A and B are shown apart, each in its own frame.
Chain A
Amino acid sequence: MLEIIENNWLLFLIGQYPHGPVGGLAMTLFLAVVGLSLSFPVAIALALARLSSHRWLRGPATAVVYVVRGLPLIMFIFWTYFALPLLIGHTVGGVATLLFALVVYEASYLSEIIRAGIEGLPKGQTEAAKALGLGYFPTTFKVILPQVLHNMLPSLVSQFVSTIKETSLGYVISANEVTFAASQVNNQLMTQPFEVYGLLALTYFTLCFTLTSAARWLERRLAAERGALGIQPA
């Protein structure tokens, strides 16, 4: 086991870089961070559309969220892999494909978290903003969302953890993240799948467990803060 680490730790961490593309754990983290960051504004737009009083905004947004949440991510990745090149007219690499699929997928889930957060805020907040004469956009972006996103921090970290795990599906379309790196090592060694995939599991677990713990800590802190503020979670 130690020998596997000694010979392959660099491949695990950064793929074939600098002799080839960046990969491994670095790529996994890149995909999760960028995927989540890009999905964030999309999620906000989806959530606002779902809460809109305009039917032609609410309808499509609701449809997107329900369809995406009703499909397994792997299927979604396949669809993106085959359909995206047809749509834009040229082939797309594994990483870009995975990123696209992740953004749409994560945005749907995040939008539900954001929507719940908005609906959970005391009604008085919107009313106070309205009473001042603030229109929809300043009310949403200066009063409502800052509070919602603050309350959402723990869920956001949890979502980050799911995203990290979901990037492993990139393996099927040869996006060279850490699972892909592990399978390369396994193909080389041929005889030690338990050790290789054990290492992979340990890597994911360490990363995700750390983050989940951070989320729990954040949640406790926010709960304490909210208690001090006397804010009811409505």
Chain B
Amino acid sequence: MIRFEAVEKWFGQHQVLAGVTGEVKRGEVVTLLGSSGSGKSTLIRTVTRLEDIQGGQVLFEGVDVAGRGVDINRLRQRVGFVFQAFNLFPHLTVLGNITLGLKRLRKMPKAAARARAMTELDRVGLADKADALPSRLSGGQRQRAAIARALAMDPDVMLFDEPTSALDPEMVGEVLRVMKSLAQNGMTMVVVTHEIGFAREVADTVWFLDKGQIVESGPPAEVLDDPSHARLRSFLSRRR
């Protein structure tokens, strides 16, 4: 579904992605691990061209996302993105955050958009907060609302960029539970996270990135329990 082919990305003189190659299959849950600065967030941001790349290719369903004739806004509608900082629109209610895309892009009438949004809010357990402004929500609730916003667009794949890193520890669980149930329902997901437990329990595949490259990948049991790479060993030992 998503293929990275020798992807290279530079921020000025600094190379963030140094030839990343890998594939995410439909229905698969891939977890990206790695210390900060290893390029994992940047990598998923290249899928919807929140970051442009300088070398290689990112293919979505076989199509180069940077290719000519690609309607990037159409592509983005098929790829849900959840940010570390939630990035809800503070001037809109929770419901308004979700219906904006439905009304503008799916051209849904108000009532239909509202009904659709309520379905998603129900799914993440926030139906009672529909008319609240994001400022009235806890961090965990904000992130769940952001997930609902992305889901409402009916994406083929969901990308999560450290979805629990900005949360107080006691709110991490509620967000991970939502993500887990998504995975169980067959959603294709790419998750950048520091939650080893989530990777172990939910992921089909773990990619460990170091210095802009995937240095180890495979099923979580293999990668996490029998790390061959020294970097990964020290990364894991710091998180026990």
Contacts and interface: CB of A to CB of B under 8 A. Distances in A.
A135 B149 CA distance: 17
A128 interface: yes
Contact of A132 (B85, B134, B149): B149
Assign chain B's interface to a size class: 20 to 34
Interface in A124-181: 124-125, 127-135, 138, 142-143, 146-147, 150
Contact of A133 (B50, B74, B134): B74
B58 interface: no
B91 A147 contact: yes
A80 B130 CA distance: 53
A88 interface: no
Q: What band does the interface of chain A fall in when counting residues whose beta carbon is under 8 Å from B?
A: 20 to 34
Contact of B85 (A124, A129, A138, A229): A124
Contacts of A122: 85, 87
B89 interface: yes
A230 interface: yes
A231 interface: yes
Interface string A52-73: 0000000000000000000000
Contacts of B76: 130-133
Contacts of A127: 50, 83, 87
Contact of B91 (A129, A138, A146): A146
Interface in B51-88: 73-77, 79-81, 83, 85, 87-88
Contacts of B85: 122, 124
B100 interface: yes
Contacts of B79: 131
A130 B105 contact: no
A133 B50 CA distance: 11
Interface string A194-234: 00000000000000000000000000000000001111000
Contacts of A129: 89
A133 B83 CA distance: 15
A131 B91 contact: no
B135 A229 contact: yes
A143 B73 contact: no
A128 B83 contact: yes
A132 B100 contact: yes
A27 B48 CA distance: 54
Contact of B87 (A125, A142, A230): A125
Given A132-B153, A230-B135, A142 B50 contact: no
B91 A150 contact: yes
Nearest to A137: B104
Nearest 4 pairs between A and B by C-beta?
A: A133-B77, A128-B87, A131-B81, A124-B87
Interface of B: 48, 50, 73-77, 79-81, 83, 85, 87-91, 100-101, 104-105, 134-135, 146, 149-150, 153
